Amino acid sequence: MPSSKPFIFNSYSQRKIALKFSYSGWSYNGLAAQSVPTPLPTVEQTLWDALSKGRLVDASKSFDSAGWSRCGRTDKGVSSAGQVVALWVRSAYTPYNAPHAPHAIEAFKQPTAARPPSLSKAQHASIDSADESERDSVRERVYKEAHEAQIFKESQPQTHELNYIQILNSLLPPSIRILGWAPVHPAFDARFDCLRRHYKYYVDPAASPQGPGLDVGRMNTALQRLKGTHDFRNFCKVDASKQIKNFHRTIHDAWIEREENLNLHCVNLVGSAFLYHQVRCMMAVLFLVGCGKEEVSVVDDLMRVELDPEHPHLPTVIGKPIYDMAHDLPLCLYDCVYDDSKVVWRSAPCGSESE
């Protein structure tokens, strides 16, 4: 029997895409892949393993080799309903049938290695049955015919891309689901091209970390004071290794809504970017306000890290007060928002480049 055809990843074309997906945070040791063993798998490593098994990336290479970027890093226990990563993946298109303008693939890489032609059983048999004196010439002729047939096949019109959603969801555990994919430009970065990130934090007023009887109205009043551009150094966990000097971030919108079917309240926070543990720290302060242990004005106090020249009598809070962060499990990265003209999500099984 002939040996199985080797899979040479670099003999296939690649394109850059963004993937939108959801995951249950409690099943994983956070989003980001780690260089050391972790008690639980990470979301990224699980996704990479599925990409490798589906031969969509080169399993022998690293995340960096695929141009990997992520939108928002989530910690252990935190879930997402709309996380986004971007990377180069194998494409069904070839240099011979890739679409041209106006539907050309913006980020398209041609193969860098030759793909061995596929031989049929009859072709293998013709080589094996040839006289020894003629076997080399027969082999050369058969491989030439196979190569020409392969080029002809690759030149035929290709109307649909690989079914990325189906391939990955068939290989991923149920706790991670691919929701859609989008063609992106070569320089696209899932983190830096994101316009807004929308977080949701679910609250049960009858069973909060500070005890029952949360005043959701007080929490919402305090929440509104977080909107706008502020210095949030007292609402985050400072990571000395990252050497962050700018703690200013912008909260575009914030509100609390009631989830009727779940008997819960949902705190919504929409911002351009967030500091390390910023949402959980803000929620911790909101819980203190909601249970009456702090006044609503504590939010303004914590954001006043420099002397206010218009109100010099007001105190500044230079060192972050000690308080426990809110729990990770109720937190969800709900959505990552991009420019609709640059990122068009596809959720259908397959998609034509002209769609």
Q: How far is CA 25 from CA 16, 20, 28, 77, 194, in A?
A: 26, 16, 6, 4, 21
What's the rounded Cα separation, in Å, for the pair 231 and 271?
Answer: 13
Residue 260, pLDDT score:
80
pLDDT value, residue 352 = 55
**Domains 1-194+340-355 and 196-337 equal at CATH topology level:** yes
Distances (CA, A) of 312 to 89, 138, 233, 300, 304: 57, 93, 20, 14, 11
Residues, the chain, total?
355
Q: What is the pLDDT of residue 111?
A: 87
1-194+340-355, CATH topology level: Alpha-Beta Plaits (3.30.70)
Q: What pairing do the DSSP bridges indicate for beta strands 196-203 and 14-23?
A: unpaired
Cα(177)–Cα(166) distance, integer angstroms: 10
pLDDT of residue 309: 74
Nearest-angstrom CA–CA distance, 333 and 18: 17
Pick the catalytic residue from 49, 58, 64, 75: 75
Q: Where are the domains of the chain?
A: 1-194+340-355, 196-337
162 neighbors 90 (Cβ within 8 angstroms): yes
Residue ranges, the chain, pLDDT below 70: 1-5, 101-102, 142, 145-159, 240-241, 349-355
Bond prior to 174 in cis (omega within 30° of 0): no
Token pair in block for residue 297: 């004005």
315 burial type by CB count under 10 A (0-12 exposed, 13-18 middle, 19+ buried): exposed
DSSP-assigned beta bridge partners for residue 97 = none
The answer to whether the beta carbons of residues 278 and 233 sit under 8 Å apart is no
Residue 158, pLDDT score: 64
Reference 226, options 195, 197, 250, 257; nearest CA is 250
- Name the architecture of domain 196-337: 2-Layer Sandwich (3.30)
Q: Is 75 tagged catalytic?
A: yes
204 touches 263 (CB < 8 A): yes
Listed in sequence order, the DSSP H helices in the chain are 43-53, 121-129, 135-155, 164-171, 216-224, 278-290, 298-303
Digit-coded pLDDT (tens) for 151-176 = 666 666 666 899 999 999 999 999 99
